[in-house]
Structure 1
């Protein structure tokens, strides 16, 4: 199942030279894992709440591959270039399959919580 790496970078600038180097090198760390950027600092239009900063979304073939990339020597080598200069949160999350059904998901949540309908 597809997985995603999501970074909410709350402080996006001014950029340190290390961040430029990180950006120049990250694609080479993703390629061996079949990963690709889906969102990389695009325009954000907040519809609800507050969203300070920017968003990065990377697609991976699976959660296992996403973990392998994050823990890889190539990524670990460049990680401090970003981490030392940008404030944010980074998560890995599993996607849903093509057969995902929100109503069925709601029914499962209701049943697990003991709520009937």
Structure 2
């Protein structure tokens, strides 16, 4: 199942040579794991609430590939270039399967909530 690495980044307005180097080298760390950018450097449109900075979304064939990329020597070497210059959080999350219907999730959650109350 497709998995995503999502980063919420702050203090992204003043890139420097380390950030440029990170950006120039990151794709080569993603390629062996089938990673590709889905969102990067896009202008945000705040609809509800205030978003504190930028967002990056990278897709992978599955969560194992995402972990393989993040744990790879090549990416571990780049991490300090990002963390010395940008604050933020990074998460991995699996996508939903083809044909996903949120009403089935609601039914499961309703049943679980009913068991918890009983």
TM-score between the two structures when normalised by the length of structure 2: 0.94
Show the counterpart of 1:41. Answer: 41
Structure 1 vs Structure 2 CA RMSD: 1.0
The answer on 1:89 being equivalent to 2:89 is: yes
5+ long unaligned stretches in structure 2? none
The answer on 1:26 being equivalent to 2:26 is: yes
For this pair of structures, how many residues does the alignment match?
A: 115
Residue 82 (structure 1) shift: 0.3
Show the counterpart of 1:60. Answer: 60
2: CA distance, partners of 1:45 / 1:13: 16
TM-score between the two structures when normalised by the length of structure 1: 0.94
5+ long unaligned stretches in structure 1? none
The answer on 1:17 being equivalent to 2:17 is: yes
Residue 99 (structure 1) shift: 2.3
Residue 16 (structure 1) shift: 2.5
1: CA distance, partners of 2:73 / 2:100: 35
Q: Runs of 4+ in structure 1 displaced over 4 angstroms?
A: none
